[in-house]
Amino acid sequence: MHDKTAAQLKSEILRLTRIYSKLVHQPHKIAAEQNTSFIPGTTPVPYAARVFNEDEVEAAVNSTLDFWLTLGPEGEAFEKELAQFLGVKYSLLVNSGSSANLIALATLTTHKLPPHKRLQPGDEVITVAAGFPTTVTPIIQLGAIPVFVDNDPTTGNIKPDLLEEAFCEGKTKAVMMAHALGNPFDVGAVLAFCRRHDLWLIEDNCDSLGSTYSMPIDQATALGVKENSPGIPFNGTHITRYTGTWGDLSTQSFYPPHHLTMGEGGAVNIVSRPPLKSYAESFRDWGRDCWCPSGKDNTCLKRFQWQLGELPEGYDHKYIYSHFGYNLKPLDLQAAIGRQQLKKLPSYVTARKKNWDYLRSGLKDLSSFFDFSLPTHATAWNVDYSFSWDSSDHLTDCSWFGFMIRVKASAPFSHVALGRYLEEKKIGTRMFFGGNLLRQPVFVQLKKDRPNALRLVGEFLGADEIMNSALFLGVYPGLTQAMLNYEIEAIHDFCAQNK
């Protein structure tokens, strides 16, 4: 063994790594690749979990052996590959989806933007009431004012007819909201509103990687969108793009429950405006003005020729800071895992859609107890797994994050009771994240301490309905048909016991 070269040793380590992973990590594979038994009531059915095979484990070990550690060649490659997949100018890796939201919004605060476009303390950002808190908290953390509007409980997304009421001339600078549980929000209405008032649009795409939105060519072109995302065939009538590619900036999360995983990790996508990349990168990397990658010097070829602020001319550009920044980079080995995951994204999306359809079909006879979600612009679900659509001629195709059901007010049980029952059966569920965030302790306290720190538009009947009636099941690619059948049977049993 001691006579082997380093390359031979590495090859042998990686070969054994694959063997080990194949033996140990069976439950974490996509359902079609699993070779494990499921015991109803004993084997847990999580709402989400990591899905990977030997490829990711080998990539992680390979990167560890190289011991670059900090974001480097794997990160650079993953950023390019993610941007190419989505069809955006740039993707910038960060250490979480929450950090991605923080960096995306911070990017709009830079003094390098024109004054009328710069987000400053006291300016307003429109968002929705129900969702995950870190879509909203960066607005407050950066000194801006979140303007809350209600959710449509059927889609989980914004009621777009409230946007004009939420707008305040000279104060509103941006719209920032998530595509809920893989369901695109009404991109047509939201983007038209932003274009009309010259506002930034940040899409929180953390739960929706692989979802698409389509609109007629003439309408898309009028909004400045002229081509499909890469890999999406053109049908001759509509422009179809992935969510996260319609606005100015978007965000991704690679936390284990999400469509792809790096363990911890996320990304900021710069859709079409290259300068935003250098601003976002600065905020991610300590606030420095220099754009040299880690471990590289003098990319600008004038490292000692700058004069910025009140520093002396020639001060080292690597130590000039233009923003109050952070250090929010992931590790290079995480990016190595992400690169392998990205190759599998199409199959993961297909599995999520298939699992959503299977649950919807299996629960279709329980409509007296439950209201079921619909994709934005859909008016009905059909037994052939298709949808009926509204008259807008806009279409959505959901890369579902979860299967949300709402317990009807007329039902003889609550969503809490259902959740407790499913937990007893070892079936994982989640409520719709924070529900109506305005009811959360931190926002209740904020309203007491600083009443002007947020603004509310209208009532929040939809957000409250979601909070009081909704939970969701998993649809992730590791769920087997046996697991889905067990979930369907358990929900039927619960309804039968509680008529």
**Token digits for 195?**
């274009």
DSSP E strands in 74-224: the ranges are 90-94, 124-128, 145-149, 172-178, 200-204, 212-216
Kindly provide the b/e burial profile for residues 86-115, where b requires at least 16 CB atoms within 10 angstroms of the residue's own CB.
Answer: bbbebbbbbbbbbbbbbbbbbbbbbeebee
Question: Quick one: CA torsion of 367, 371, 375, 380, rounded to 10 degrees?
Answer: 40
SS3 250: strand
CA 209-211-217 angle, 5° bins = 130
Element holding 144 (H helix, E strand):
none
Question: Which of 11, 60, 13 has its CA nearest to residue 335?
Answer: 60
Read off the tokens for 215: 């609109």
Please list the active-site residues: 258
d(CA 168, CA 243): 26
- Cα–Cα distances in angstroms (integers) from residue 235 to residues 97, 189, 191, 217, 221, in the given order: 33, 22, 22, 10, 15
- Longest Cα–Cα distance in the chain: 79
Residues contacting 456, CB < 8 A, separation 6+: 147, 148, 438
Residue 185, token pair as written in the block: 């929000």
- Phi, psi (rounded to 5 degrees) for 55: -60, -50
What are the angstrom distances between the C-alpha of 352 and each of 211, 241, 359?
Answer: 11, 19, 11
- DSSP, collapsed to helix, strand or coil, labels residue 293 as coil
How far is residue 119's CA from residue 173's CA, in Å, rounded to a whole number? 6
**Rg of the Cα atoms in the chain:** 24
Are the CB atoms for 361 and 383 separated by under 8 Å? yes
